[in-house]
Amino acid sequence: MRKNARRLTVASALVGTLVLGGATSYAVSTELTGHGDARRLDGDQTRELRRQIDGGDAQNVILLIGDGMGDSEITLARNYAYGAAGELPGIDALPLTGQYTTYALDPSNGKPDYVTDSAASGSGWATGTKTYNGAISVDVDGASQETLLELAQAKGLRTGNVTTAEIQDATPAVQMSHVAQRGCKSPSRMGACPDEALENGGAGSITEQALATRPDVVLGGGASYFGDTATAGEYAGQTLMAQAQDQGFEIVTDAAALDAVRSADQDAPVLGLFADGNLPTVWDGPAATHAGGAEEPVTCTDNPAHTDDVPTLEAMTTKAIDLLDAGSDRRSKHGRGWGWGWGHSTKDDGFFLQVEGASIDKQDHAANPCAQIGETVDFDAAVEAALDFAAKDGNTLVIVSADHAHSSQIVYPGSTTPGLTRTLMTADGQPMTVAYGTAEEGGSQAHTGSQVRVAGYGPGAANVVGLTDQTDVFFTVRDALNL
């Protein structure tokens, strides 16, 4: 069993907190110099792991994706916020871990394209089918592939889709729509997807398909696309916002309104739109530059653009779980909580929820380590909320992974490299230099093709162990929910 066993509240999981430049960082008081001081295990964990392995069915699945959250991005966040010997209380708490491959396909020959984008990777876990970069839940020939969210709906389960990006962005889009290119987000942006345009007999843009798919809860950004006008069909000439209102969606636009929502179902699904584009990051700081690594270490600060009107990913995740779980008597009286196996309810209902921490990737692209780390910490809090629910519920499978790896790397303190660097002061009181080397200043750092971590807790979680592929997640979730 792990030396720092998981607690069910953030407060009891932490030994102490440090406030660094306005943004919160956490440190575990640990001596590292003695024999065995850096161990993370306390004795043999075999018996504990046996308890975690269960092949039973799940009532609910919560799939959490840290966009661009490779092993390096996880390590950066842990070092900065908790120290090298610390733990991320959500991401690091899942008891069963593995790695999965993320490659896309070259549509010209069906062979591997070694560096995926979010669209191809997301389509892989959403549908079980590999595809090309840019594709949203279609195969290499353009044929639509049924998604986990659609399969869950067909079985009568509640469904949710939460993101810190636009709800039309690639990762949320793969569960709700099928288009040839990820940029086809609204009727005026369908140039790359003529076959999907309503006027050509298609299913419409990503936004229009999201309304038609009608998950019970959708939360994120992307409000600007709802100002676009339908070009064909019943709502031709009307805005997509008017269409959503006419179709009975309960539309909320700030944290207080979201908190006030008490129910979500097919009669009145909840559509939360908290920004015109992507949600602002929770932390900010100076970007990496050619000389940044040699400058004085910086601490991260709260982003003033992330006001109280903007819900955190943890708040959106908690609310989505509450709404999807409300009104159903699914919790088994036999669920024993963390580490002791799962209860098995006989009711045939439940929910499927996908949650994305989107701007880990977006701030990695921008070579902004503070914003990137802040989004990882924000994502970690959402993971912890999901695990807290799952431990109490006893019938919930939680899977945490990423769509692809990214550029940020930890290098020797104060290093100057041919790329871009920035040195941060961590929770250990030590400098940590972060390097980006795949684009010049002002450019967009590139994804990388490395395998990424996948971790699980709950019924069926053992299927993440070892080396798998992102498409394996589809089958693990499908089989756990009997879809």
3-state secondary structure of 125: helix
Q: What angle do CA 229, 230, 236 make, to 5 degrees?
A: 115
Is 401 assigned a catalytic role? no
Q: The tokens of 427 are what?
A: 């929770």
| End-to-end CA, the chain | 33
Q: The tokens of 156 are what?
A: 């009568």
Q: What angle do CA 478, 116, 316 make, to 5 degrees?
A: 55
Q: The tokens of 121 are what?
A: 């990777």
CA distances from 292 to 296, 298, 368, 401, 416 (A): 8, 10, 11, 30, 8
User: Any residues with CB less than 8 A from the CB of 307 and at least 6 apart, and which?
Assistant: none
Report the relative pairing of strands 270-273 and 250-252 from DSSP bridges: parallel
**What is the rounded CA–CA span in Å between residue 161 and residue 159?**
7
Residue with tokens 């916002």: 241
Residue with tokens 């949320």: 172
Q: Which is the catalytic residue, given 12, 29, 72, 118?
A: 118
Amino acid at 276: D
Amino acid at 470: Q
**Catalytic machinery residues:** 118
